[in-house]
Structures are given as C-alpha cells and as structure tokens.
A = this chain, B = another copy of it.
C-alpha cells in the first residue's frame, strides 16, 4: 500500500503541486521572505535568521533550488542565493490561470 500515484495525474497538476509544496513550509517561506526583502543576492546570513541547524537550512535551500524558485552561486567561501522572480511569476500565472474565478467572484453562489 501507499504506492505513489503521483504520475497518474496530469503534468500541469503535478507541476503546480510541486511549486506549492516547495513553498509549503514555514522555513522556506521565511527564506524566500529574507531573499525577497533585498534586491541583491544574499551570501550567508540565511542560517542565522532561522531557528534551524545549518544542515537543515541547506536542505530547504536545495528544495527551493529544485523547483527553480531561487538561484544559487558560489562566491568564494560563501554561497549566494536570490529569488528567481521569473519562476515566481510563472508560478503565480499558473496559479491564477487555474483558479482565475477567484478574482471576479467574491461570494459563493453555491449551496454550501
């Protein structure tokens, strides 16, 4: 049991879900928040503002990298990260495309 049925869904659905999953953790939200605050890359300093061990933060960074929400580059002994706004926009558009009714409708016209 508990075989992964992920591939049974549509590609678009999986893609959108993967994005959402990537930002579906407070630590990763916090990381993105820190990166979004500045317009330039952040080299180091990310670990310090999070209540997590260095290795754990590194793991979260890797997950954000995986879906392309951030980019990373090595600068000497430090690693620099910054938000990839392009991917971010793509996600935002995908999201709105799926659920574009949320813009116009402000009230449920349903039975429940």
Residues of A within 8 A of B (CB): 5-6, 8-10, 13-14, 16-18, 20-30, 32-33, 36, 39-41, 51-52, 71-73, 75, 80-86, 88-89, 92, 95-96, 98-99, 101-103, 105-112
Residues of B within 8 A of A13 (CB): 26, 29-30, 33
Q: Report yes or no: B26 in contact with A24, Cβ–Cβ below 8 A.
A: no
Evaluate contact between A21 and B17: CB separation under 8 angstroms.
no
Given A10-B26, A82-B110, 11 new contacts (CB under 8 A): A13-B29, A17-B26, A18-B24, A29-B98, A33-B98, A36-B98, A73-B111, A73-B112, A80-B111, A85-B102, A92-B102
Q: Could you tell me if B14 and A21 are in contact, using CB atoms closer than 8 angstroms?
A: no
Q: Once the chains bind, are A40 and B102 in contact (CB under 8 Å)?
A: no
From A23, A75, A81, residue with most partner B Cβ within 10 Å: A23
Q: Which of A6, A30, A85 has the most CB of B within 10 A?
A: A85
Cβ distance A92 to chain B, nearest Cβ, rounded Å = 6
